[in-house]
Structure 1
Amino acid sequence: MPISGFPEWLPPQRMIEQYVLDKIRSTFELYGFAPLETRAVEPLETLLSKGETSKEVYLLHRLQDSSGASASSSSDDQLGLHFDLTVPFARFVTENHGKLVFPFRRYQIQKVWRGERPQEGRYREFLQADIDVVNRDTLPFHFDTEMPLVIGDVFRSLPIPRATILVNNRKVCEGFYRGLGLADTAQVLRTVDKLDKIGPEKVAALLAETAGATDAQAQACLRLAEISATDGSFVDAVRKLGVTDPLLDEGLAELLQVVEAANEHAPGLIRAELKIARGLDYYTGTVYETQLQGYERAGSICSGGRYETLASVGNTRFPGVGISIGVSRMLGLLFGQNAISVSRSVPTAVVVAVPAEEQRAECIRIASALRRRGIPAEVAPTAAKFGKQIQFADRRGIPYVWFPGSPDTVKDIRSGDQVEADPTTWTPPAADLRPTITGI
């Protein structure tokens, strides 16, 4: 029985996923990020201290502890499955900082778990692909400008709709709110982050209720959130609102650097969007979200930001910046619209037909010779009539059938062309060697 929110892709979808992961991994490594995998569980107190996550954390425990007591009384209740990869990464850095060379660049591709309401593209178990850079004491800002460039290269390598990275800086928002006279800037940020979900009127009412905002202050917050630009013009737009604060100035300068760097490397990739806040409390500066063209209503498929205080040992801080691709989320949306497909349902490029069961050993030798040369091959399951063995290949999208004989021949079952072939020299066209992934 399917369990809502826990996707299980069919083999063709899984092949697409693996292709996407290979592209992500290779791009991350081109930028010098090293691989890392952390444990699936973290102490519950760690997970609950990182934003509005208390309703989303899955607890981990045994059915009974060693004394036979019920699960609710077991100390294992203090472990939860991680809801993102940034929190466990920060913990890993603090535990291993003496063994790491800083700045430390890592990528991590793992499952995470969140107990949220399942819907299209939103799951309770899903795959994320993260990159982060952390440093000891201070992290130069140029790493914030690099994150969108890496992600832009990833998305351009995939047959998916055009991606736009939306970027903001929490210092802009917090400085603006401070300049307005709003003290609880964290609460204002969390409320404004709900803008797309509940709309401006409800956000304004919530600002009054939870942050003590006057109507004028709430309207100013909404006007800031309306500012959007693909170039540096957002700076003037903010200035025209007439609010001043040193933190606001710092945030505008940083955000301008990110936008200008992206426009030089990949024009059209990035857009300053001043309503972006991100719901997790550990972000302190730059924040990113990413939309796919045609799927804007589904929200962000790649998010992240700068964090200054998430990892520390004594008086030593390890500030970082990172961004995470929601691989399952992105693919779930594309699968739902049949917007990405694979040319065949198995990796096999050629099926070796079996004339009679007595000849199966020879057929296996032929397949082995092909595999040694990197050609995916399998032997037909039965010595049925050749027509049925061709149908077996055709149903799976396998393009070639090999017929043992004197001489051997191989048939392209799409065109009907059949030629003599030797398993030690024959190679299919490059386009047929591996399944092809295409988008619409």
Structure 2
Amino acid sequence: MARKASLSGFPEWLPEERLIEQHIIDVLRRTFELHGFSGIETRAVETVGDLLRKGEIDKEVYAVSRLQADEASASESGLALHYDLTVPFARYVVENSGHLAFPFRRYQIQKCWRGERPQEGRAREFTQADIDVVGDGALPFRYDIELALTVVEALGALPIPDFTLRINNRKLAEGFYRAIGLEDTAAVLRSIDKLEKIGAEQVGSLLREEVGADQEQVRLALELAGIRTPDTSFVERVRALGVSDELLEEGLEELRQVVAEAAHRAPGRVVADLSIARGLDYYTGTVYETVLDGHESLGSICSGGRYDALARKGNRTFPGVGLSIGVTRIVSRILSQGLATVSRPVPTAVLVTLADEGSWSQAQEVASALRVRGIPAEVAANAEKFGKQIKFADRRGIPFVWFTDTEGAHEVKDIRSGEQHAADPGSWLPPAGDLRPIVSAR
């Protein structure tokens, strides 16, 4: 169970909780690298102008200033902590375009800061894990498919409940709405986005009152939003609505390709969900949103999509497609619901005991011999009675204690079973399951 932070919205984990978070980060990093993504890190601050260009309101951005600011530091003004990793990445691409090989595959796992009201799943300081592919001038559509498969593999390796990656397409939605006479697609999307919260009847009222939709337009918009399939059958269901439009057909085909490949390679993980509206106002094609099954109230744990113009530099345009995983959101739910356990709260596998105060240097040699072979070890600080040293290891969660007698003979004891036997620090290995703390789903 996660503790409450003394400063709301800024979580701090206990050692065993941090092990769970670190496990998630390590799994994501390994998966991203297996798929050829290169890791980068950008600075924590950006200019306020760059951060607000995406439309964020001022109160959600933490400004940065020196306590002892003076005229000499005026050039440092106008800085703020980044609230996501997309804006910094767009700047990074522009500034380093001459040094990057396109399409550029990047992952980035860093903290972000956002001054919103804290609640479960929303913190003011949080860690995100992003993956993106960005092109120079053009970016093949197949990357939209690859991103979906990569994130399904990454999330599937985490100690979390089943999840569903829901996918929609901006072109599909925009083409459909315009074809039925609803030109203010952004307003339509804002109304459709409330579907899960307020229901179809109230969304219909919003469409009539705020968009000026007639009864037939409301019916068609709600029928489109009600289509959700785990396969490509959504294509015929959309066409059965009798709406024809070139942009609609383009979006249908793109979504069909993503869902067809995902249904083949990751059956049951991906669905075409035409109710997804959040993000469609700034994405230009594919849109992803992921929820934990049975934990929908938490909101999306992973979302993203395609930008036809992630960044610009003069006449050059850099289109991109990417996904962002809410690491802190996932960890918070794991801890609050007890969804995962860790085999021990510390990395140490072996405590090397002291027979007397003069044996500390010799004990350090034993620990070094273990560490050089990748076995986490620490040395007792005092030559207390062996019983007290064993209790210390037990209290820390260390599974093995090491003894060296005055003749230089070595023995190791598993304090859980009580088994003790002779061992050589140059060759002994703990069971594979005891080498490192193991995080597993309940």
**Which secondary structure state, in structure 2, belongs to the residue aligned with residue 95 of structure 1?**
helix
For residues 328 and 42 of structure 2, the distance between their equivalents in structure 1, rounded to whole angstroms, comes to: 19
For residues 324 and 433 of structure 1, the distance between their equivalents in structure 2, rounded to whole angstroms, comes to: 32
Q: How does 1:114-263 map to 2 (within 5 A)?
A: 114-263=114-263
**Which secondary structure state, in structure 2, belongs to the residue aligned with residue 149 of structure 1?**
helix
Q: CA deviation at 1:215?
A: 4.5
**Which secondary structure state, in structure 2, belongs to the residue aligned with residue 133 of structure 1?**
strand
Matched AA of 1:38 = T
Matched AA of 1:380 = A
**Which secondary structure state, in structure 1, belongs to the residue aligned with residue 128 of structure 2?**
strand
What residue number does 1:96 align with? 96
**Which secondary structure state, in structure 1, belongs to the residue aligned with residue 60 of structure 2?**
coil
Matched-pair contact (CA < 8 Å) for 1:23–1:157? yes
Q: TM-score, normalised by structure 1?
A: 0.94
Superposed CA deviations along residues 114-168 of structure 1, whole A, max 9, x for unmatched, are 2222111221111111111111111111000111111111122223222221110
Are the structure 2 counterparts of residues 273 and 77 from structure 1 closer, same or farther at C-alpha, using a change threshold of 3 Å? farther
Pick one of 30, 44, 47 that aligns with 1:43. Answer: 47
Superposed CA deviations along residues 276-324 of structure 1, whole A, max 9, x for unmatched, are 1233743111000112223222121111100012311222211110011
Superposed CA deviations along residues 330-383 of structure 1, whole A, max 9, x for unmatched, are 111111111112111110001111222222222222112211221111112322
For residues 371 and 200 of structure 1, the distance between their equivalents in structure 2, rounded to whole angstroms, comes to: 61
What residue number does 1:411 align with? 413
Matched-pair contact (CA < 8 Å) for 1:56–1:115? yes
Q: Count the aligned residue pairs.
A: 436
What residue number does 1:360 align with? 360
Q: CA deviation at 1:202?
A: 4.1
Are the structure 2 counterparts of residues 248 and 85 from structure 1 closer, same or farther at C-alpha, using a change threshold of 3 Å? same
Computed over aligned residues only, the root mean square deviation of the Cα atoms, in angstroms, reads 2.0
What residue number does 1:15 align with? 19
Matched-pair contact (CA < 8 Å) for 2:170–2:280? no
Q: CA deviation at 1:429?
A: 1.1
What residue number does 2:336 align with? 336
Matched AA of 2:431 = P
For residues 50 and 281 of structure 2, the distance between their equivalents in structure 1, rounded to whole angstroms, comes to: 13
Matched AA of 1:26 = R
Superposed CA deviations along residues 5-44 of structure 1, whole A, max 9, x for unmatched, are 1111111111121122111111111111111111222222
Matched AA of 1:372 = V
Q: How does 1:412-427 map to 2 (within 5 A)?
A: 412-427=414-429
For residues 135 and 164 of structure 1, the distance between their equivalents in structure 2, rounded to whole angstroms, comes to: 28
Q: CA deviation at 1:396?
A: 2.0
What residue number does 2:383 align with? 383
Are the structure 2 counterparts of residues 43 and 363 from structure 1 closer, same or farther at C-alpha, using a change threshold of 3 Å? same
Are the structure 2 counterparts of residues 373 and 68 from structure 1 closer, same or farther at C-alpha, using a change threshold of 3 Å? closer
What residue number does 1:264 align with? 264
Q: CA deviation at 1:223?
A: 2.2
Structure 2 residues without counterparts, runs of 5 or longer: none
Matched-pair contact (CA < 8 Å) for 1:137–1:317? yes
Matched AA of 1:412 = D
Q: CA deviation at 1:76?
A: 5.4
Q: CA deviation at 1:211?
A: 3.1
What residue number does 1:6 align with? 10
Q: TM-score, normalised by structure 2?
A: 0.93
Are the structure 2 counterparts of residues 45 and 119 from structure 1 closer, same or farther at C-alpha, using a change threshold of 3 Å? same
